[in-house]
Every structure is written in structure tokens, then in C-alpha cells.
Amino acid sequence: MELLRDPADRGYPTEYLLSRIRGRRAGLLKDWKTLLFDAAPLDALLSSRARSGVVEVSPDAVWRRLMKEYRWVYGQMNERLRELFSLFFLYAELRTISICLRQMKDRKSARLEELLEESLLSNELRKVCLSSPDSTAAVAAISRIFSRLSPSFGDLPRVFADEGLRGVERGLTNQFLQYAVQQKLHPFIKTFLVRMIDARNLLRLAVSVQQETVSAPDFIAFGSLPMEQLVRIQEQRDLVAAGALVRQYAGVKVELQDPSQVEHALYRTTTQYLKQAGRDPLGVGTILDYLWRCSIEAMNLSILFFGKNVERDVLANELVT
């Protein structure tokens, strides 16, 4: 895919990559509750970096570490696997683009260069992030490049003018997910992306039914939940129906008043699905499960960083385990 880097195909067989991934998966952090209730969790992580692989805990460092691992996996893949996973990796890189747009506004070029060093984005997209004179020019260029996938990305400059960077981030993600799930994908990857649509739609529903705003949230099309059902519940501000829908999807009862509870319940059900997919004898599910586990580790590290002054019992409910 021209929106991602294209390193040389080393020709490694899939089984070689799977054996490497199984070894690296064993090194992922697992006992989050024990770590959380350590006297100084972040210090404990850094002091055991030879085992944990964590050398710095900050939002930028956590994201770079995740992107570095994704880049390693991508680099070990043969051409067939890269093609299968290209839309997964591009979906992951949407966050890189969002971070770059925010930091571009603050003129933090050194941080941009450091972040993009590990990114899988193509040279063209990285140049846009590094060299655009301002956010307006960057959004226009990103819109033009993504429009090669679908004309639906062409509206991003207008969204930026009307809604700012937050609107661009939301619009880019919405349009990408809607585009991606309509492509010919491996069943595991398609189901994963549909689950990402469902999670975003349910989270938006949970928030919107509690607000007095009259404007409906922009639900993402092509998820597994009927759009008509989401819109009806939102329009009626039906808190009971929204809670029942989230509970039915996630398999657990959650308090809609706490969006993080909803989000983490939805992530946990995706984790359970991918754990099953990880038993795939052909390897695609195993790779996808590992990539997801890496992203959950990054999410939990960020929670520890931002919650270092929060009560441990509160943080325990925030961690995705």
C-alpha cells in the first residue's frame, strides 16, 4: 500500500514470524494488578527494564515503543502478510497523524521527527507531517493523499475549517473505518475493524444519551449494530436501552455515566475475541492477537502514567486486563 513504507521483502516464511511472535508475546507485561499496587509502579517498571523492555514511561515514549514493535512485525512479514495487514497498520497510524497535527500546531518539530522515526507511514505522508507550514496545509495534503483510497476523504479541509483538529481526527477515523471494512479483507481483520466501529458507536451512544444536545453523534456506518437502532436510542435519550445494548455486546453490566468503563468493557470483549483468534493455525489470528496485546500494553502504560496521582483502586478499574 502506497500510504505505508515499503521495506524489502526478506522472504521469511510465516512460521518463522509466528515463532518470533510467540517468544515476544511471552515478554509482554501481564500482571498489571500486582504492578499497580507496588509502592512506585513506574519506578518498578523502569528498574526491571531488562525484563519489561520499558525504558521510559511518557505518552510519547509509550507510543514510539508501540510503533517500533509494529514496525518490527511489519518488517518481518513477507509480501503476502503485509498486504493482508496493510489496513490494520494504516488504521494504527491514524493516531500518529493525529499526534503530528497537534504537535505541528505547537511547532514541536523535534518531537515530530522522533515520533516519525518509528512510524510506518510512507515517505510522502511523513514529509507532510514534518514539512507542512501549518495545520491547514497539512490537512489539505493528508486529504489529497487519502483521497487516493476513496473520494470520501476529500471533505477533511472543510471539516478542519468548521470543527478544527478534533473534527479532522474524528472524520479521518470515521471515513477510514467505513472505507476499510468494505474492502476484501481476511475475516479476522475485517471482524476486528467492525469491532472498532462498534466500540466507537457504542461509546458515542453512551455519552450522547446523557447529554441534552439535540445534534445526533455521527455514528460510523458498516458496523454490526443496526444504524437505525443506534439513532433511535439516541433520539429518545433511552438510557435503559443504551445500557442494555452495551451489556449485550460487552457481556457485562457497566455504568454508562463512566465512559471509561464502557470503553474498557468493549476493549475486553475484543481481547477475548482475539484470544480465540490467536489459535488460528494459519497464523493471521495469532499475529493480530499479538498486535492487539501490544496496543493494550501501551494503553495500560499510559493509564499508569496519567494516573500516578490517582487512587490505586480507581486505576485498577481503568486497566484493560
The domain of 187 spans 14-318
Q: 144 exposed, middle or buried (CB, 10 Å; 0-12, 13-18, 19+)?
A: middle
Looking at the domain assignment, is residue 1 inside a domain? no
Looking at the domain assignment, is residue 233 inside a domain? yes
Gap between the Cα atoms of 10 and 23, Å rounded: 20
Least confident window among 1-15, 62-76, 208-222, 241-255: 208-222
Gap between the Cα atoms of 306 and 107, Å rounded: 23
What does 193-206 look like in DSSP terms, one character per residue? HHHHHHHHHHHHHH
Q: Which residue has the higher pLDDT, 113 or 128?
A: 128
Looking at the domain assignment, is residue 3 inside a domain? no
Q: How many domains are contained in the chain?
A: 1
Looking at the domain assignment, is residue 7 inside a domain? no
Looking at the domain assignment, is residue 2 inside a domain? no
Looking at the domain assignment, is residue 176 inside a domain? yes
pLDDT at site 50: 43
Gap between the Cα atoms of 37 and 39, Å rounded: 6
DSSP annotation of 224 reads: S
Looking at the domain assignment, is residue 109 inside a domain? yes
Q: Which residues contact 263 (CB under 8 A, 6 or more apart)?
A: 199, 203
Residue for grid cell 435519550: 237
Joined grid coordinates for residue 177: 473505518
Joined grid coordinates for residue 7: 521495506
DSSP annotation of 309 reads: T
Classify the phi-psi angles of 39: left when phi > 0, otherwise alpha if psi is within -120 to 50, otherwise beta.
alpha
Q: Which residues contact 99 (CB under 8 A, 6 or more apart)?
A: 63, 115
Q: Which residue has the higher pLDDT, 135 or 115?
A: 135
Query: Is a pLDDT exceeding 60 seen at residue 299?
Result: yes
pTM as predicted: 0.93
SS3 label, residue 245? helix
Gap between the Cα atoms of 60 and 56, Å rounded: 9
Q: Which of 38-42, 212-216, 299-303 has the highest mean pLDDT?
A: 299-303
